[in-house]
Amino acid sequence: MARWRGKRWTFGPGTRLVVALLAALGAGAGSASAVPAGAAPPLSIAVQGSTLVDGSHQVVQLRGVDEESTEYWCQFTYSWASGYSAYNLADEAQEIATWHANAVRVPLNEDCWLGINGEPSLKGDTAAGYRAAIEAFVKDLNAQGMYAILDLHWSGDGTAKADGQRQMPDDHSVAFWKSVAAAFKTNPAVLFDVFNEPTGLTAGQTTDDMALPVSWSCWRKGGCPVSNSPLGQGLASSTNTYAAVGVQALVNAIRAAGADQPIMIGGLNSANDLTSWLANEPKDTLSPPQLVASYHNYEGSTCASASCWNTTISSVAAEVPVVTGEFGQFSCPNPGFDTTWMDWADAHGVSYLAWSFANTGTLTCKSSGYAPYLLQSNLTTPEATNGTQVYNHLTSFPAPPG
């Protein structure tokens, strides 16, 4: 979750992983930590009814964090110039593992992966280098006993650079998922999150000056005009639009590549609205279907209360697995939002990943309107109040075998 607020982005200037990825590229980015002899069996995950299960058919609840930076480190100079040169990919995975996370969501950049529109644009990097760095990080996460969720986070239609979040998938998104799915189709410890936060006005929602209308039908099938400006960078313009690509096309692309892993699909209103998700659920060629509802839950959003969770979220979770791809609180006055959500999710079998394993250089909890971060500037100490809540909750569970 990264949006333009006034004259500032709400993501941080960089994290350890950014320099780690660059270091990996310089070293060929081809090696990753191997699973030691005698360790737990390789990770595997699949949908079974309304739950996620491992290779032994034991229920899996994903609990973890989002790793911000992989969506923009290949593009913006300030995203990696943070001086964290002492870390590498294995260190990053090991640090997250100390929080007892069993899953990490890895945001991706459409252009950097495909090598289009002049991206990647930093220090002579290439699409092959970007892909190799992501693949190495996924292997390191798996070696630490953690599942990896690959998320299409930044995109842009046509010749527009993938320099932020857009409303809906675009004309490059099908090719992106065919390529990503082909690269990871033999890794059973990976899930695919087809589009970070589908966004558009639907019935009953208040005016959003960053988005044009998107019906649930368009969410599934595509075709409606949406803004080609990054979300948060001004009014949605009817003259700068593209025809949305529906999520069904992305599911089809992943399956056409031969990948059979679970596919996460976020609802509308920045993945906070799941009211019509079941009624418009895409078709999966696999039997049983391997589809998961992705839900984003931030303090102050439309569905951020127990009343909404007890109706909408629980009803969806009764039919398909629900993974909270992102959650967090924005302000200090409500210090218990994160814990309240995780407790509810635990009681209802809902998975969750906190945004984000990063730091903006500010040691206190963020003011209203700023994205939550989990770490202090030393990059190891949980930051109050988001980080302390998430750290204390995750470490109350056993560490995953790795």
Q: Would you say the C-alpha torsion 57, 58, 63, 69 has a positive or negative sign?
A: negative
Task: State the average pLDDT over residues 166-189.
Answer: 97
Strands 8-9 and 4-5: antiparallel
User: pTM here?
Assistant: 0.88
pLDDT(300) > 80: yes
Strands 4-5 and 147-154: unpaired
Largest CA distance in the chain: 60
**Confidence band (pLDDT; 50, 70, 90) for 22?**
very low
Q: Kindly report the CA angle at 130 between 168 and 74, in degrees rounded to 5? A: 70
Residues in the chain: 402
User: What pLDDT, on a 0 to 100 scale, did the predictor assign at position 359?
Assistant: 65
Kind and range of the H or E element at 225?
A: strand 222-227
Q: What is the pLDDT of residues 365-381, one digit of tens each?
A: 554 445 578 887 777 88
**Confidence band (pLDDT; 50, 70, 90) for 28?**
very low
Domains and CATH numbers, the chain: 41-204+245-394 (3.20.20.80)
User: What pLDDT, on a 0 to 100 scale, did the predictor assign at position 294?
Assistant: 98
User: In 3-state terms, what secondary structure has residue 273?
Assistant: strand
* Number of Cβ atoms within 10 Å of the Cβ of 391: 21
4 against 323, higher pLDDT: 323
Q: Which residues contact 275 (CB under 8 A, 6 or more apart)?
A: 267, 312
User: What pLDDT, on a 0 to 100 scale, did the predictor assign at position 91?
Assistant: 80
Q: What is the pLDDT of residues 39-50, one digit of tens each?
A: 456 799 999 999
Q: Would you say the C-alpha torsion 336, 382, 298, 313 has a positive or negative sign?
A: negative
User: What pLDDT, on a 0 to 100 scale, did the predictor assign at position 333?
Assistant: 54
Q: At what angle do helices 89-97 and 16-26 cross, to 10 degrees?
A: 150
pLDDT(386) > 90: no
Q: Which residues of 34-61 are buried (b: 16+ CB within 10 A; e: fewer)?
A: ebeeeeeeebebbbeeebbbbeeeeebb
User: What pLDDT, on a 0 to 100 scale, did the predictor assign at position 122?
Assistant: 75
User: What pLDDT, on a 0 to 100 scale, did the predictor assign at position 23?
Assistant: 40
Q: Kindly report the CA angle at 11 between 99 and 95, in degrees rounded to 5? A: 20
Q: What is the pLDDT of residues 332-359, one digit of tens each?
A: 655 689 999 999 999 999 999 999 887 6
Based on its alpha-carbon atoms, the radius of gyration of the chain, rounded to whole angstroms, reads: 19
Alpha helices in 7-64 (DSSP H): 16-26
231 against 140, higher pLDDT: 140
DSSP string, 83-120: --TT--HHHHHHHHHTTT-SEEEEEEEHHHHHT-TT-S
Task: State the average pLDDT over residues 69-90.
Answer: 57
Answer for the pair 220, 194: CB distance below 8 angstroms, yes or no. Answer: no
Per the prediction, the chain carries an average pLDDT of 83
